[in-house]
A and B are shown apart, each in its own frame.
Chain A
Amino acid sequence: MSVHEPEKTIALDAEYLAGHRFPYQEDIALVEDVDLLAATPGPDLNWLEDVELLKEDAVPAVFDRYSNSFLKIYFRIPEGREDEIARKVLIKHLQSGNSYGIHLKDKHAKFPQPELGPWVEGSTTVGTNWHPPVLDGWEPPDH
């Protein structure tokens, strides 16, 4: 019997988590109309000020802190608009409900919160009726 270390994935990206690419990763026209000021609290960019274009596996990418993953950008980014485009791709990803963490909310959110986060007005509230999961056949101990 051979014993070996299991294969480890150390660099998760949004495509790996979703199993596919999203159209807005490949077409700039799909993110041009994103209103960054409207998507963030206060009169300026607020938390998006800290979001900038990075690279993952030598590909331009933006970091999605809500799923701890990189979202790669495959279209050509106009010079001088790097951070703006990175922010628009990220907000499009979040507003579309494609961030991996959002998929987990319906089942696992323990207290009320908007399903799609603070970026979408009128989003459904989840987490209002959470119960701890119980294993089949498990019974609480006597003591």
Chain B
Amino acid sequence: MDALAGERMITYDARGLVEPDDTVPRVSEIDGDRAVFDAKSLTTRQINLELRWLLYEEGVKDVTVLNPGAKHSLGVGILTRCRITFDGSLGYFGCGLIDGPEIQIKGRVGWSACENMMSGVVVIESNAGSLTGAAIRGGDVVVKGQVGARTGIDQKGGTIIVLGRAGSMTGFMMQRGRQIFCDDVGPGLGDSMYDGTIYVAGKVKSLGIDCVPGEWDDSDTELIERKFRIYGLGKPPEFQKFVCGKKLYNYDNLEPSERKLVL
């Protein structure tokens, strides 16, 4: 119940869309370029305001957020190189729209974690919900637990690594990038994917439309070994590779503006 204390303090505008109070709480303990603050009694907006104040105005490069309390939309829109540690779980839409941060989440995350991420690294120590890494364009997302459905939907770049099992329609409409699954994946893998590569070490319940086995080459081995090494994931298991069969779509026929959408 204590975790709800911050949410109870929120007063919304007449449409119920926004917390009108945009005062930065300034509750952090700052030590050089490191800072730590307790988010237990703060609202979502206050936590994000505190993060931006530390990173953009106080020159802090390493922030630890204690008791995030699974609140939604934390750590979004951070557009600078820094390190952020969430000492607990996040709700939905955590760490979306980021460009540059290296984030560690010591608990679980809800749906749509890291959506539209441009660059950076997010390591989630436990499970993640559905739509993890939705529409990411770059950077690495590492989930050490399991993930829900539609991981990396509409992915346009970057790498998603999942150590546990993955749900249905994984890689749905994937357009570029790489997905590495170290355990079983559900039905509809890579359904309607345009491009990109999916690696699976466990069993695949079923392939989606136009997702086909790919031919392994040295660049695949280099990628897997490099990612496992830099994230300390041990010896990689043996993977199967899946790619787009390219029977459904052909980029050459697309308008230039549509082509740019996937670059």
Interface residues of chain A, those whose CB is within 8 Å of chain B, are: 10-11, 40-44, 46-50, 54, 63, 65, 68, 111-114, 117-118, 121, 125, 128
Contact = CB atoms under 8 A, between A and B. Distances in A.
A24 to B, nearest CB: 20
Nearest to B61: A121
Interface residues of B, number: 31
Given A41-B120, A42-B140, A47-B138, A111 B256 contact: no
Contact of B56 (A10, A63, A68, A112): A112
B157 A50 contact: yes
A11 B256 contact: yes
B175 to A, nearest CB: 11
A42 B119 CA distance: 10
Nearest to A39: B81
B196 to A, nearest CB: 10
Nearest to B196: A50
Contacts of A114: 56, 79-80
Contact of A113 (B56, B81, B257): B56
Nearest to A122: B59
B115 to A, nearest CB: 15
A135 B119 CA distance: 37
A41 B121 contact: yes
Nearest to A56: B256
B101 interface: yes
B170 to A, nearest CB: 19
Nearest to B178: A49
B28 to A, nearest CB: 16
B144 interface: no
A7 B94 CA distance: 43
B139 A47 contact: yes
A65 B121 contact: no
Nearest to A62: B263
B119 A118 contact: yes
Top-4 shortest CB links A-B:
A47-B138, A118-B100, A47-B119, A50-B157
A112 B53 CA distance: 9
Given A10-B257, A111-B52, A112-B56, A46 B120 contact: yes
Interface of B: 52, 56-57, 77, 79-81, 99-102, 118-121, 137-140, 157-159, 176-177, 226, 230, 255-257, 260, 263
A114 B81 CA distance: 10
21 contacts: A10-B256, A10-B257, A11-B256, A42-B139, A42-B140, A43-B230, A44-B226, A46-B120, A46-B138, A47-B137, A47-B138, A63-B260, A112-B57, A113-B79, A113-B80, A114-B79, A117-B100, A118-B79, A118-B99, A121-B81, A128-B56
Given A10-B257, A125-B57, A42 B120 contact: yes
Contact of A41 (B52, B81, B176, B255): B81
A68 B137 CA distance: 13
A118 B256 contact: no
Most buried by B among A41, A114, A121, A125: A41
Contacts of A128: 56-57
A127 B158 CA distance: 27
B81 A47 contact: no
Given A47-B118, A65-B137, 4 more contacts: A41-B101, A111-B52, A112-B57, A114-B79
Given A41-B101, A47-B119, A112-B52, A117 B230 contact: no
A107 to B, nearest CB: 17
Contacts of B121: 41-42, 46
Given A41-B120, A118-B100, A47 B158 contact: yes
A44 B81 CA distance: 14
